[in-house]
Chain A
Amino acid sequence: MSPRGRLRTALRFAALALALAAGRASSATAPLPAAAQIKTAFDALDSSRNGAINGAEWDRASFVLFRSFDKNNDDAIDREELKATAIAPDTFRRIDLDQDDRLNAGEFTEHRRTLFLIADIDRNDYLSPVEYELFIIMERIGWQDTNQNGRVELSELTSSLNRAFDDLDQNRDGALQLAEAAFMRPAALTRYDGNRDGELSREEFVAGYRNELTGG
């Protein structure tokens, strides 16, 4: 690797570590929505009703979201409009590519398409219900792009799921009971519970998601 490449890699690691630390330190992880809410959102995105969200459906939702935040309809989200949203100011600043202190529809949509690519873990250009559920988890927990390829690898997913488990296991008994896993699709909860004891161990939680993604 050239000196410039090494510098680039070092800079990336340092900045990503800072971003991750800032995200972790900013607040405790916000509670996850209920499974029914996630299903409602998924169904709203899946306008073709084929059980998967494609890029066009995602982009259309991005346009609708952008329009809802652009209160004065000038095709930009400015600092004043930002205050009425839950958009993280640090993310706003970073994706404002032309640095005009406003997000135009292109900057907003392009960043959201990056999120779609990250959420599309099996890389089939569609988001399935399990991928969307994992996306919601990772929005709160974060993700470490260890190999810096902009996509979620299974090893990286395992790391995020382990962190999610630590956050979700509020009574610290080493298992997720129904109340702690209320964000999960009920059928998945049953399927992942290999020993049928009515709760999910860390291993069941992580393996359940991994197996569902890989068809294992």
Chain B
Amino acid sequence: MNHSHYRILRLAPLAALLGSPFVALAAPKPAAPAANAALVAALQAVSPDPLGGRLGLVAATARTLDNRTAPAMRSEQTAMIEADRQAYAAWKNTRKS
């Protein structure tokens, strides 16, 4: 292990305390766009519909009905969606840095 690795390891707990921008600096570099393009191509070759084709339609239909008949489920799903939206925004920011 070289010195730069040590430095990152020593900084990591501090960075975690200080917040995500510092974590982003210490984190490994994001995958190259080429790797992401390869991932998309590989997935699209086997699953053209990223939302699951017929399986996805059945799942979405069940969810829709659950939400109509059980408002608590809808609230829970809304909260999860918001958390995922924020996680995506954070992921996108990491890619920019």
Determine if chain A interacts with chain B.
yes
- State the A residues within 8 Å of B (CB): 4, 7-8, 11-12, 15-16, 18-20, 22-24, 30, 33, 37-38, 40-41, 43-45, 59-69, 75, 85-88, 90-92, 94-95, 97, 104-115, 118, 135-136, 138-145, 148, 150
Q: How many residues of B contact A (CB 8 A)?
A: 49
Is B14 part of the contact surface with A, judged by Cβ < 8 Å? no
Q: How far, in Å, is A54 (CB) from chain B's closest CB?
A: 15
Query: Do the beta carbons of A16 and B62 come within 8 Å of each other?
Result: yes
**How many Å from the CB of B71 to the closest CB on chain A?**
12
User: Contact at A41–B89, with CB atoms within 8 Å?
Assistant: no
Q: Say yes or no: is B3 at the interface (Cβ < 8 Å to chain A).
A: no
Shortest A7–chain B CB gap in Å is: 8
- Complex Cα distance, B86 from A43, in Å, reads 27
Question: Contact: B69 with A94, CB < 8 Å?
Answer: no
| Residue contact B88 to A109, C-beta cutoff 8 Å | yes
Within 8 A of A (CB), among B41-97: 42-70, 74, 77-78, 80-89, 91-92
Distance, CA A135 to CA B54, complexed state (A): 11
Prevailing SS type, chain B contact patch: helix
- Residues of chain B within 8 A (CB-CB) of A23 are 54, 57-58
**In the assembled complex, how far is the CB of residue B13 from the closest CB belonging to chain A, in whole angstroms?**
21
A38 touches B46 (CB 8 A): yes
Q: Of all chain B residues, which has the CB nearest A22?
A: B57
B41 CB → nearest A CB, Å? 9
- Bound together, the chains give a CA A4 to CA B70 distance in angstroms of 10
Within 8 A of A (CB), among B4-47: 36-40, 42-47
> Known: A12-B65, A61-B43, A67-B92. Is A115-B59 also a contact (CB below 8 A)?
yes
Chain B contact residues, CB within 8 Å of chain A: 36-40, 42-70, 74, 77-78, 80-89, 91-92
Q: Which 5 A-B pairs have the closest CB atoms?
A: A106-B85, A105-B88, A106-B81, A139-B53, A142-B54
The answer to whether A110 touches B80, judged by C-beta atoms less than 8 angstroms apart, is yes
Q: Kindly report which residue of chain B lies nearest to residue A23, judged by CB atoms.
A: B54
In the bound complex, residues from chain B placing their C-beta under 8 Å from that of A4 are 69
Say which residue of B49, B54, B61, B92 sits within 8 Å of A15 (CB atoms): B61
**Inter-chain contacts of B92 with A (CB < 8 A):** 63, 67, 75
- Asked if B43 contacts A44 (CB within 8 A), the reply is yes
Contact A94 B46 (CB under 8 A): no
A37-B45, A90-B57 are contacts. A15–B65 as well, Cβ < 8 Å? yes
